[in-house]
Structure 1
Amino acid sequence: MTGESSDGKDNVLIVHWHDLGRYLGVYGHPDVVSPRLDQLAAEGILFTRAHATAPLCSPSRGSLFTGRYPQTNGLVGLAHHGWEYRSGVRTLPQLLGEQGWYSALFGMQHETSYPARLGFDEFDVSNSYCEYVVEKAREWLQDCVPDLSGQPFLLTAGFFETHRPYPHERYEPADSAGVDVPTISPTPPKCARTWPISTEPSPPRTPQSGESWTHSTKLDWTPAPGWCS
């Protein structure tokens, strides 16, 4: 989502989640109710033909923020397993910073064990649950942006949801009987009978599937003044 600074350069807001995929109302999902995020997509940029460069968190995020394939930027494994960008690889906040943008990150990042390496002018990665991140972003937009005196900014808000675990004290599980389980490739058959978040073979419909959709909806109901209402 973009807006415009006083000098005509776009302000940029990047909102990203863990393991969310297309499980939102704006993409036509029948089980997730997300009117605020649908509105955000309608007023911003909605990608309908995008794809991930890797089936793993850190490499995929690394490509998003560098514009380079994992085998090129060096981030081919999970950051908490020691993988890092190659020396000299520049990130989006670094590139925009060279052109006059101020950058801030609140919440989730999984590209490095050293957040300062990412090139943001300021960051808070101490908590990545939605309530905290939304409040930090809201405060920053209200209190700090005016001090930029029209300087364009990049604001990145990263959420841990919808990654495991799904604690019941945070998210009331949905009724799994009313959830349409995503299609799983029928071959090989043994894999098709194993739900991805379980370590044992299980029937296609599980309580975890319902909790996953509840997790997605949780992202939407966290309102903040100045955001979509």
Structure 2
Amino acid sequence: MNSTRLRLFCCVIVSAFLYLVGSPEPTQAEEKRFNVLFIAVDDMNNDLGCYGNSQVHSPNIDRLAKTGTCFDRAYCQFPLCSPSRTSIMTGLRPDTTTVYDLKKHFRKVLPNVVTLPQAFEKQGYFTARVGKIYHYGNPGQIGTNGLDDDASWQTRVNPSGRDKREESLIINHTPKRGLGSSLSFLAAEGTDEEQTDGMVATEAIRLMEENKDKPFFIAAGFYRPHCPYVAPKKYFDMYPMQKVPRWKNDFPEVKTAPELAFASNKPWPWLGANSQQLQEAQQAYWATISFVDAQVGRLLDALDRLELRDNTVIVFWSDHGYHFGDHGLVMKQSLFERSARVPLIVVAPGQKEKGTHSGRTVELVDLYPTLTDLCGVTSPERLHGESLVPLLDNPMADWNKPAITQTKRNQNRMGYSLRNERYRLVTWGEGENQLYDYENDPDEKNNLANSPEHAQLMEQLMAELKPHMK
């Protein structure tokens, strides 16, 4: 038999065999080749319609929540940009990464760690970032790679818009502070698309269009509502000043909580701003939330237009929360609820329950195992979080894991917080503790740490927290 006939004979035999036994079943990974759209916002607290704030206009984030699961008790691991984002992207807590500031890169400590997008790339995904996912200075390093991780991405895009070019126009109510940590704002002229965040949406949409026929992990990192609070003027017009709340300098809780609890603001209160200046900054902060919301809407519309919605996992998250007047504080780096709590929405194709709220206590460190679980991607061993998939199918499923948040004071004072569904314990060491009962005291006015009636609870929660303390 010549070679041509031999090849033909073999083809016939193989075809007959496949016909008889059927095609092989697809593997789990092949069945779950979902895309991931990973949407990050910077310094956004829970002032959103889907979290019960009726003053803030957030229709697009709200409609996202109606298609998935909105986590009502989600918490960051460290209320500062770089430590928090490092934990999310490595799946490891801050005491393992040892990133506690805005300068240290996790690769100096963990050179071989497999980040979340790297795990997807190893499975054949296209991975790309637009804007801020890992830390870089906002607004100082807009347009650069900042403290990014080159190994995490096949493509990186660093937009820089009109907000960056017009920084000289910004009003700063805390002039001794740089723009990246100030109560400063600008009601800008021009269109959404001219702003850096508008460009983030435009570029992320372009990447989805170019890669719609292959599995992708595309991260869109928005810069707002981080200060300076810059957005087109039309978003400021949504919040007439007479409807923006104005705080009084009256905080009796400082008498019972340790001084370290308020030390994120120096001077206290409100970094030296007065109540009118704080009110103006609050208006601007809400305007930037609505501006970012509109850009999220553009991403969701693009998914629908490209017919990708049914095959894409969408995650919306903020790196930490944000104070705006409560406890005499603004911004982050405290262990109170407004600083540690974050908005978190997960939408997964085929999830049994949609448009639900879960009251279970979850953490941003849970995102790594959740996404690899949903997409059938192999994840590294010893991740510190747990997959949230059971809560997507049943938001009230059994779940006993608390949330651990920490922050640093000075050079060597680390504060740790344990939050469960009712209580928060905070310890700064040396007997400086806080205990809050959110069922009876949602505003954290009454520190129960020294209450004899709560001594047993304090002991129980402290024993639960100690294994998480370095």
1:206 is aligned to 2:279: yes
Cα separation, 1, equivalents of 2:284 and 2:147: 32
Q: Which residue of structure 1 aligns with residue 419 of structure 2?
A: none
Q: Which residue of structure 2 aligns with residue 83 of structure 1?
A: 104
Kept in 2: contact 1:176–1:209 (CA 8 A): no
User: Kindly tell me: are residues 6 and 89 of structure 1, through their superposed partners in 2, closer, same or farther at Cα, counting changes over 3 Å?
Assistant: closer
1:135 is aligned to 2:202: yes
1:69 is aligned to 2:144: no
Kept in 1: contact 2:40–2:133 (CA 8 A): no
Kept in 1: contact 2:37–2:218 (CA 8 A): yes
Cα separation, 2, equivalents of 1:114 and 1:53: 19
Name the TM-score, length of structure 1 as normaliser.
0.79
Amino acid at match of 2:253: T
User: Kindly tell me: are residues 46 and 227 of structure 1, through their superposed partners in 2, closer, same or farther at Cα, counting changes over 3 Å?
Assistant: same
1:155 corresponds to which of 198, 210, 218: 218
Tell me how large the CA RMSD over aligned residues is: 3.1
1:126 corresponds to which of 159, 163, 167: 159
When you count strand as a share of all residues, which structure comes out higher?
Answer: 2
Cα offset for 1:97?
1.6
SS in 2 for 1:226: helix
Name the TM-score, length of structure 2 as normaliser.
0.41
Kept in 1: contact 2:50–2:62 (CA 8 A): yes
User: Kindly tell me: are residues 181 and 99 of structure 1, through their superposed partners in 2, closer, same or farther at Cα, counting changes over 3 Å?
Assistant: farther
Cα separation, 2, equivalents of 1:121 and 1:179: 44
User: Kindly tell me: are residues 118 and 47 of structure 1, through their superposed partners in 2, closer, same or farther at Cα, counting changes over 3 Å?
Assistant: farther
Per-residue CA deviations over 1:79-112 (Å, capped at 9, x if unaligned) read: xxx3100222221011222233221111113336
Tell which deviates more after alignment, 49-58 or 160-169: 160-169
Q: Which has the larger radius of gyration?
A: 2
1:56 corresponds to which of 65, 74, 80: 80
Task: Write out aligned runs for 1:79-228 (5 A).
Answer: 82-85=103-106, 86=109, 87-111=111-135, 113-127=146-160, 129-146=196-213, 148=214, 152-167=215-230, 172=236, 174-180=239-245, 186-188=252-254, 194-195=269-270, 199-203=271-275, 206-222=279-295, 223-224=297-298, 225-227=301-303
Per-residue CA deviations over 1:180-229 (Å, capped at 9, x if unaligned) read: 4699964327969723xxx3142275210111111111112235342479
Cα offset for 1:164?
0.7
Cα offset for 1:31?
1.7
Tell which deviates more after alignment, 168-177 or 88-97: 168-177
Kept in 2: contact 1:31–1:180 (CA 8 A): no
Cα separation, 2, equivalents of 1:6 and 1:90: 21
Task: Name stretches of at least 5 consecutive residues in structure 2 with no aligned partner.
Answer: 1-28, 137-145, 162-195, 306-470
Cα offset for 1:13?
1.2
Cα offset for 1:169?
5.7
Aligned length: 215
Task: Quote the sequence identity (%).
Answer: 26
Amino acid at match of 1:93: P
